[in-house]
Amino acid sequence: MLQKPRRKRTGTLCLDASFPNPNKFMQLSEENAFKAMRGTWQPVANAVDLPKGKVIGYKLLETELVVARFDDGALLAADVACPHKGARLSAGCIRDGELMCAYHGWRFDASGACQSIPSLVAPNPDKLALSHLHSYPVKERYGYIWVKLDASSPHELPEVPEFEDPRWTYKMGPPMVFGSGWRREVENYLDMTHFAFAHASTLGKCADPKIPEMDIQVHPDGFQMDAPFPALTTPHEQPGKLQSAHHRMQRCFLPNFTTIRQSFTDGDERVLVHIPSPNTQESCTVFWSVAISPDFRGPPPDSQIEFAIRVLDEDRQMCELQIPREVPINPARGGWGVLVTPGDTLANTFQKTLRQWLTGRTPQ
């Protein structure tokens, strides 16, 4: 019988006994990180923004893509350059059920196969075969369009039952571009010490700057934190529902799929997700949504989305203020990032578990 890994408790941080010593990690690079993430599903659009007959462009992990939904609902994600003259197919359109290049009218079906070369009366079959687009796995789930650049990877999306439960109200937020790296956004989303400052006029109106005790557990696919929202017991003003005391369970599925379950004192709940989809090494697009429990006693769903947009834009400003634009992939001694406080425990957990995840996917 296989034995479960032994666990040890260090304060409130619960780690596997087999968890590697971070000082023994190999030196990693941004190229290592992006190569590993090519094997993960990443969002490229809200599904509602890609109706039938729509064609868009998206840069994922420095790779320019064309993403299209055909008239029958079939999806295509492929390298953006037309194999003829390299024109961006994202400037094309769906014509008679096929993706047509805007430059010379070459057409492709949902599998990426070239179906028509208008300048040739009878295209050579070999030329058509050589013109097949380099396509990638693509699917729709949780209201997003997802692409995986490495088809050989077994990575699957985490299960979030509330997002597909018809009893819950599920709302999509508009994607927001951050002029910072994706790890900056993950750390920001995990951080509970900035509420009283970065969100002083919104989420943090009644927040306590002192961090509450956190219980952190590491899992094979990420980690989980349980803690109360740091709400003041005697706030200077009466908090709204979304700013009031509640319990938070933050779950990070490596590398960048992070949920927060909010459990309020009256029994209401919300489950939020943030996925900072990496565009370049110094920019990302944050895709997010929220599931609201039945008969929620608080602001209506549309108002909650409006409030969340304000909060996320405040987070964007804070992420873009930081130097460098991305959290360094390798830990440093005696320099930036060493002045940590107890409130940084969750960010440090993310850094350590991410390095473990990357090391396991990087050739030695």
Is residue 208 in a domain? yes
Mean pLDDT of 262-273: 95
Is residue 14 in a domain? no
Cis amide prior to 5 (ω within 30 degrees): no
CA angle centred on 80, ends 126 and 320, rounded to 5° = 160
| Residues of the domain holding 249 | 161-359
> Looking at residue 223, which CATH number applies to its domain?
3.90.380.10
pLDDT digits (tens, 9 = 90+) for 35-76: 999 999 999 999 999 999 999 999 999 999 999 999 999 999
- pTM score: 0.90
222 shares its domain with 285: yes
Is residue 35 in a domain? no
pLDDT range class, residue 12, cuts 50, 70, 90: very low
Rounded (10°) angle between helices 182-190 and 301-321: 120
pLDDT digits (tens, 9 = 90+) for 78-118: 999 999 999 999 999 999 999 999 999 999 999 999 999 99
122 shares its domain with 84: yes
88 shares its domain with 177: no
As a whole number of angstroms, the distance between CA 241 and CA 303 comes to 12
Q: Is 43 helix (H, G, I), strand (E, B) or coil?
A: strand
What pLDDT score was predicted for residue 17?
38
Among 147, 177, 208, the domain boundary falls at 147
As a whole number of angstroms, the distance between CA 117 and CA 28 comes to 45
Per the structure, the count of domains in the chain is 2
Cβ distance 288 to 312 under 8 Å?
yes
165 shares its domain with 267: yes
pLDDT digits (tens, 9 = 90+) for 130-176: 999 999 999 999 999 999 999 999 999 999 999 999 999 999 999 99
pLDDT digits (tens, 9 = 90+) for 192-234: 888 777 787 776 666 677 777 889 999 999 999 998 876 655 5
196 shares its domain with 229: yes
Is residue 211 in a domain? yes
Residue corresponding to tokens 């304060």: 11
pLDDT digits (tens, 9 = 90+) for 186-203: 999 998 888 777 787 776
Is residue 108 in a domain? yes
205 shares its domain with 118: no
> Looking at residue 107, which CATH number applies to its domain?
2.102.10.10
119 shares its domain with 166: no
What pLDDT score was predicted for residue 26?
67
215 shares its domain with 245: yes
Is residue 23 in a domain? no
332 shares its domain with 208: yes
132 shares its domain with 201: no
Among 117, 147, 177, the domain boundary falls at 147
As a whole number of angstroms, the distance between CA 76 and CA 115 comes to 15
Is residue 10 in a domain? no
Among 147, 182, 199, the domain boundary falls at 147
142 shares its domain with 211: no
141 shares its domain with 173: no
Is residue 293 in a domain? yes
